[in-house]
Amino acid sequence: MLNYFDIDDELEQTWEEISKRLNADKVDFKKIMKLKAAWKELEIVQMDVTNEYFQSQQLVIREVLKVKEELPTIQLYQDLVESVYAEYKQREPKSMLDEYLIKAITLLEYCRS
């Protein structure tokens, strides 16, 4: 349970690494800012272990990511995040999650794998 509360600021450190990689890949500044806002939202949302909808959608993203991770990734955002997002939307066309929250979850799960 304590893993959800990010006691040692691990999520912030992870975001810093992701941010560096996104900047190196020349991702648009507006997209990075939207991802950062979604990342902050993700920090809060994932603490609610009773949110079954979020948990189920996170699982779908994790499943899509497993397949995509086997493909060559040159640019983190374009090759992985956008690809996972497109596949996720095909599987879950009525998803209530925001586009950038889905992308933030993808980045988090990528870093955890």
For 66-76, letters b (16+ CB in 10 Å) and e give: eebeeeeeeeb
Query: Residue 76: pLDDT above 80?
Result: yes
Mean pLDDT value across residues 29-39:
97
Query: Residue 6: pLDDT above 70?
Result: no
What is the per-residue pLDDT for 73?
Answer: 72
Instruction: Give, as one character, the DSSP assignment of residue 25.
Output: T
How many residues does the structure list for the chain? 113
The pTM of the full predicted model, rounded to 2 decimals, is 0.88
CB 39 within 8 A of CB 104: yes
Query: Residue 8: pLDDT above 90?
Result: no
Mean pLDDT value across residues 54-79:
89
Helix, strand, or coil (residue 93): coil
The region of weakest confidence among 16-30, 62-76, 80-94, 99-113 is 62-76
What is the per-residue pLDDT for 56?
Answer: 96
